[in-house]
Amino acid sequence: MRVGDTLGNAHAQVLALAPGVVATALSLDPAAGYVLSRIDGRTTWGTLRQIGALPPHEVDQLVESWLKDGVLVASGASAIKTTRDARGSDSAAQQPPKKPPAAHAKPATPAPPPPSAAKPKALSLPEVDASLDLDLDLQREILAFAAGLGRRYHELLGVAADADARTVKKAYFALSKRLHPDRYFRRNTGPFGALIETCFKRLLEAYELLSDPTTRKEVQEAEAAAPPPPLTTIDAEGAASARARGLDARRRLRERVSAMSSRARAEGERRRKAKTFFEHGMTAFAGSRWLEAAGAVRLAIAFDPENSAYREEFPNVQRKAHEERAKQLVKQAEGALEMRDYALALDTFEEALHYRPGDADLAFRTARLAVQASGELKRAKEFAAQAVEVAPDNAEYRKMLASVYAAAGLEANAKREFSAALRIDPSDKEAKAGLRSLS
Amino acid sequence: MSRVIGIDLGTTNSCVAVVENGQVTVVPNSGGYKTTPSMFAITQDGKRLVGHLAKRQAITNAKGTVTAAKRLIGRRFDSDEVQKSISLYPYEIVRGPNDDARVVVGGKTFTTPELSATVLREMRRVAEEYLGEPVKEAVITVPAYFNDAQRQCTKDAGKIAGLEVLRIVNEPTAAAIAYGMSRPGKDEKIAIYDLGGGTFDISILELSDGVIEVLATAGDTFLGGEDFDRRIVEHMLAWFQEKEGIDLRGDAMAMQRLKDAAEKAKCDLSSRETAEVNLPFIASDDNGPRHLSFQMTRELLERLVHDIVNGTLKTVEQCMLDANIQAKEIDQVILVGGQTRTPLVQQAVADFFGKRPHKGVNPDEVVAVGAALQGESLVSEDQNLLLLDVTPLSLGIATFGGHFAKLIERNTTVPARKGHIFTTTRDNQTAVKIRVLQGESDTAVENDLLGEFVLNGIRQARKGEPEVEVTFDIDANGIVSVSARGLATGKEQSITVNATGTLSDDEIQRIIRDQELFEVALKE
């Protein structure tokens, strides 16, 4: 195999995320996301195979597809070319195996705007002013915070990168006491008023993103991929000499100009790539290859996250892909049922339900399986409640939910659902019996 | 500097509190009651009455007495709520020039902010008498689910009553503030179950070292104690018709008597098992006068209203989902609103959360107390309380195909800033209309329109190519500004969304002048 031959050398290569790629838009499963998060411009492909998140051959598959799609760049070019040749064009947009996180009850929406896309706005910072109704230390504190608004979110909150939710919240509350505009209600805060509000909004953003495990992971990946812009330092004392400032300014300007031109080049490249993916996706869509189409459009968005045409198309493509995926999964689950592998069947049904949340009957069957196969009442309740929510006028679903509640000892809820079932069908014997057994 | 008062402007009753030297006092009115009926009346001879005076004559002057004006405030005449009110209340509700609902009493047409203003003015007067100094500023509470128009109308009502409204605070949030102040240094998650006369709200909040964060809030603006009363009335009407063959429905006076009796029986049944309803001479026919004498039991009441109570639990479940929290994680459940005195309600809430509700607060007064504390915390120097309030409803813009794109989701802490990129839908389109909406439906027209503007000068290009960044900014006062910027051209347009209350500034000024003429009548 040519692939195997070339890969031997390829493993010595150092991998890095291609400039401008927004990793969060890729929508990976946690294992693939972990692999991607290890890629930092220093780690070699060989090391990556040994980190243990996935078997080595699966790591290879991921890296190959990322290299081919241009998500990654390797420090040497030869292997990339070979691997690209080695793979059929048909799999051009194949996605890494994707298993949705079970916690997501609603169908995945397009990825939220990546945090790294938040452009650090040029803030003009006011001078410390003794005539304001804010003491000077507080003014300096606010200025320092404002100057660091471009920092990473956890730095903004002053917590460790791996701080737990409780610590994040504590830090947010403590900073809110200093930075919430209500603290300075009707005080003469001059130009600090608007600044305080800006700071609080950014603080809120940091807290919101870091307190939800999903967005937090995205933030971490994005931050690992793109180092934060250098801090603007505040010259609160005004001590630096004018000469030093002049030199500094010229140096910064040079850096900025060169950064801007290379960024513009990379930007054009990125957009072209995105366009290719998108067109490929539309071709696949026209040819009813839904999963492939979804993968390609997703990549297009990853390369050009600001193009709303791609984002707008994505839900359609994704819906089709979800339908397809759900169909496959239901089939698999029914296979597992026949093999009497109930645990697998339940998991697979649940996954299918994730892609087809509006299918009440599927939810009902999943609920029944959860009760019968594993007695997992909490899961069963979720599924049964989903069925009832989708089809509130179905007495069967209500009774199922009621009996799950009853089994869990939630009598009031059980009664409510049995009564609801009775309202739908006043002659329903099971519901009557259920109610009697509760009272 | 004058003091800030806290007013709980309720559907059926209102309450006012003040902070003095760090202590909160609920101010009793001249009759010694700590709550005042939210009622306004014009008598046959043209006198204007508010509060207990209005309630006392409500039976004989049913058409001239306005109750539950809060149900109409900020609503369109054609809305379900107004239409429902028309069928429920004996007074006359008409369509106003801005398609708002107005009320005709004593031959004069009143806007809904004017009606609420009569109650606010009374509360202000009560506070002024107690404090012995003029009061100019207030924090007023509203149900969590009030939309922008309803909040704006409540602010307008304050203005008409001569009050600057520093903040509109959600009722359950105010209750949490009052509760939180009594527990400094505690870290707790609390649920506020607020079943008042006309509205139901549930909120989940977190208290931590003087900071109060609203995790989620949900509710029903048309569910409350009055629904209990109505069920009782309906039951008695049917019973009387069967027994005497007389339908009392068309008789405004009889209906008002039945309603008063139902309310009293309901309250009695909170502490007793049975209550007598005696309404002599309720009707007459050829055979002479008829009396209504009915024995009400707690068991019958519970049968009549149990589905209403269960309905509230559904909303509670929704709110818990929004807050991503389980019942067992809630440390305290606080009951607010007079209707939570009903044992059935207390039982249902205790069953749901698996714990007995907190007993330490007075359900009728806690909201006003919290409002006063919030007012104090805004203006005072040493602040030991910070409320991280949230937006009650989602905000966004209408997009192609009649969809609603939410930019700020409900329950987002304010102040906040959120942006998103949109594009054109036709080739060579050079202008986009940004329609700012508020609500929860994915369909644009089912939400409330807050304002709209046009961004011109977009670069000519194929559809889908130009990029327009729309940014929502919402400040600590809940004022929303929306800007749209063409990313290629840098051209920018923005508006500050002036909540469309039902009154213009001119109208408010005119009403304030008109009311001054009646100042003497009001102070009698």
Residues in chain A: 439
Cα separation, B490 vs B468, in Å, equals 9
Judgement on whether residues A122 and A258 belong to the same structural domain of the protein: yes
The C-alpha torsion from B362 through B367 and B368 to B372, rounded to 10°, is: 120
- Single out the residue in B302, B331, B353 at which a domain terminates: B302
Interface probe with B: pick from A167, A180, A187, most Cβ of B within 10 Å: A180
Look at the alpha carbons of A369, A374, A375, A379 in this order and tell me if their dihedral is positive or negative: negative
Assess contact for B478 and B167: CB atoms under 8 A: no
Of B310, B423, B476, the CB nearest to A182: B476
Interface probe with B: pick from A121, A169, A185, most Cβ of B within 10 Å: A185
Q: Do B378 and A185 touch (CB under 8 A)?
A: yes
Residue A350 exposure: Cα atoms within 13 Å on the Cβ side: 22
Judgement on whether residues B64 and B148 belong to the same structural domain of the protein: yes
pTM over 0.90: no
Closest residue in A to B473 (Cα–Cα) = A201
Known catalytic residue: B159?
no
Judgement on whether residues B384 and B426 belong to the same structural domain of the protein: no
Cα separation, B57 vs B52, in Å, equals 9
Q: Which two tokens stand for residue B30?
A: 């001249």
Judgement on whether residues B70 and B159 belong to the same structural domain of the protein: yes
Domain-embedded: residue B403:
yes
Domain-embedded: residue A209:
yes
DSSP A373: I
Judgement on whether residues B282 and B410 belong to the same structural domain of the protein: no
Of B208, B417, B422, the CB nearest to A308: B422
Judgement on whether residues B380 and B402 belong to the same structural domain of the protein: no
Q: Helix, strand or coil for residue B509?
A: helix
Q: Which two tokens stand for residue B55?
A: 């309630």
Residue type at B367 in one-letter notation? V
> Which residues of chain A, if any, have pLDDT below 50?
1-8, 77-122, 228-249
Domain-embedded: residue B180:
yes
- Single out the residue in B302, B333, B349 at which a domain terminates: B302
Residue B517 exposure: Cα atoms within 13 Å on the Cβ side: 5
Q: Do B386 and A312 touch (CB under 8 A)?
A: no
Q: Do A306 and B352 touch (CB under 8 A)?
A: no
Domain-embedded: residue A374:
no
Closest residue in A to B468 (Cα–Cα) = A308
Cα separation, A39 vs A49, in Å, equals 11
Q: What is the pLDDT of residue B321?
A: 87
Q: Do A183 and B383 touch (CB under 8 A)?
A: yes
Closest residue in B to A194 (Cα–Cα) = B475
Q: Do A181 and B415 touch (CB under 8 A)?
A: yes
Judgement on whether residues A123 and A46 belong to the same structural domain of the protein: no
Q: Do B313 and A183 touch (CB under 8 A)?
A: no
The DSSP H or E segment spanning A294 is helix A290-303
SS3 of B107-162: the string is CEEEEHHHHHHHHHHHHHHHHHHHHCCCCCEEEEEECCCCCHHHHHHHHHHHHHCC
Q: What is the pLDDT of residue A128?
A: 81
Judgement on whether residues A68 and A178 belong to the same structural domain of the protein: no
Judgement on whether residues B382 and B449 belong to the same structural domain of the protein: no
Judgement on whether residues A43 and A168 belong to the same structural domain of the protein: no
B residues 354-393 closer than 8 Å to A (CB):
377-379, 383, 386-388
Of A201, A307, A416, the CB nearest to B417: A201
Q: What is the pLDDT of residue B14?
A: 96
- Single out the residue in A262, A297, A326 at which a domain terminates: A262
Judgement on whether residues B40 and B127 belong to the same structural domain of the protein: yes
CB contacts, 8 Å: A208 with chain B: 413
Number of domains within chain A? 2
Question: Any residues with CB less than 8 A from the CB of B405 and at least 6 apart, and which?
Answer: B396, B397, B398, B399, B420, B422
SS3 of B492-506: the string is EEEEEECCCCCCCHH
Known catalytic residue: B505?
no
Q: Do B464 and A312 touch (CB under 8 A)?
A: yes
Which of A390, A410, A103 lies closest to B313 in space, CA to CA? A410
CA A351 to chain centre: 18
Judgement on whether residues B421 and B368 belong to the same structural domain of the protein: no
Cα separation, A180 vs B513, in Å, equals 38
Question: Any residues with CB less than 8 A from the CB of B54 and at least 6 apart, and which?
Answer: B37, B39, B40, B41, B65
Judgement on whether residues B372 and B266 belong to the same structural domain of the protein: no
Known catalytic residue: B492?
no
Q: Helix, strand or coil for residue B64?
A: helix
Given the residues B122, B148, B171, B473, select the one marked as catalytic.
B171
B416 in A contact zone (CB under 8 Å): yes
Q: Which two tokens stand for residue A380?
A: 């069963």
Q: Do A176 and B388 touch (CB under 8 A)?
A: yes
Number of domains within chain B? 3
CB contacts, 8 Å: A418 with chain B: none
Judgement on whether residues A120 and A255 belong to the same structural domain of the protein: yes
Q: Which two tokens stand for residue A231?
A: 């801090």
- Give the count of beta carbons closer than 10 Å to the beta carbon of residue B524: 8
- Single out the residue in B286, B302, B318 at which a domain terminates: B302
Instruction: Annotate A181-236 with DSSP letters as a single string.
Output: GGGGTT---TTHHHHHHHHHHHHHHHHHHHHSHHHHHHHHHHHHHSPPPPPPPP-S
Judgement on whether residues B240 and B288 belong to the same structural domain of the protein: yes
Residue A269 Cα distances to A265, A295, A424, B297, B421, angstroms? 6, 20, 61, 79, 21
Residues in chain B: 524
Closest residue in B to A201 (Cα–Cα) = B416
Residue A56 exposure: Cα atoms within 13 Å on the Cβ side: 9
Q: Which two tokens stand for residue A326?
A: 């759900």
Q: What is the pLDDT of residue A262?
A: 64
Q: What is the pLDDT of residue B519?
A: 55
Q: What angle do CA B71, B72, B75 make, to 5 degrees?
A: 120
Assess contact for B135 and B124: CB atoms under 8 A: yes
- Single out the residue in A91, A106, A138 at which a domain terminates: A91
Mean pLDDT by 10 residues, chain B (524 residues): 88 93 90 92 91 84 90 90 86 91 93 95 95 95 86 92 93 90 80 88 87 84 86 95 90 82 93 92 85 93 94 91 88 92 93 89 92 91 78 87 88 86 86 89 86 85 86 83 84 76 77 68 43
Number of inter-chain CB pairs under 8 A, A vs B: 64
Residues of A near B (Cβ–Cβ under 8 Å) read 113, 169-170, 173, 176-177, 180-183, 185-186, 197, 200-201, 204, 208, 306-309, 312, 411-412, 416
Q: Do A185 and B379 touch (CB under 8 A)?
A: yes
CB contacts, 8 Å: B417 with chain A: 201
Given the residues B122, B194, B201, B473, select the one marked as catalytic.
B194
Known catalytic residue: B8?
yes
Q: Do B421 and A306 touch (CB under 8 A)?
A: yes
Domain-embedded: residue B26:
yes
Q: Do B211 and A308 touch (CB under 8 A)?
A: no
A412 min Cα distance to partner chain B (Å): 7
Interface probe with A: pick from B325, B386, B390, B410, most Cβ of A within 10 Å: B386
Closest residue in B to A187 (Cα–Cα) = B379
Q: Do A412 and B348 touch (CB under 8 A)?
A: yes
B292 min Cα distance to partner chain A (Å): 33
Cα separation, B218 vs A126, in Å, equals 41
Cα separation, B499 vs A203, in Å, equals 27
Q: Does ipTM surpass 0.90 in this model?
A: no
Given the residues B55, B70, B259, B406, select the one marked as catalytic.
B70
CB contacts, 8 Å: B313 with chain A: 412, 416
Q: Which domain holds residue B458?
A: 395-490
B residues 103-132 closer than 8 Å to A (CB):
none
Q: Which domain holds residue A30?
A: 2-91
Alpha helices in B190-278 (DSSP H): 225-244, 252-268
Judgement on whether residues A148 and A73 belong to the same structural domain of the protein: no
B386 min Cα distance to partner chain A (Å): 7
Residue A282 Cα distances to A90, A146, A366, angstroms? 14, 44, 34
Assess contact for A400 and A384: CB atoms under 8 A: yes
Judgement on whether residues A135 and A207 belong to the same structural domain of the protein: yes
B348 in A contact zone (CB under 8 Å): yes
Instruction: Annotate B50-118 with DSSP letters as a single string.
Output: ETHHHHHTTTTTGGGEE--GGGTTT-BTTSHHHHHHHHH-SSEEEE-TTSBEEEEETTEEEEHHHHHHH
Q: Do B475 and A197 touch (CB under 8 A)?
A: yes
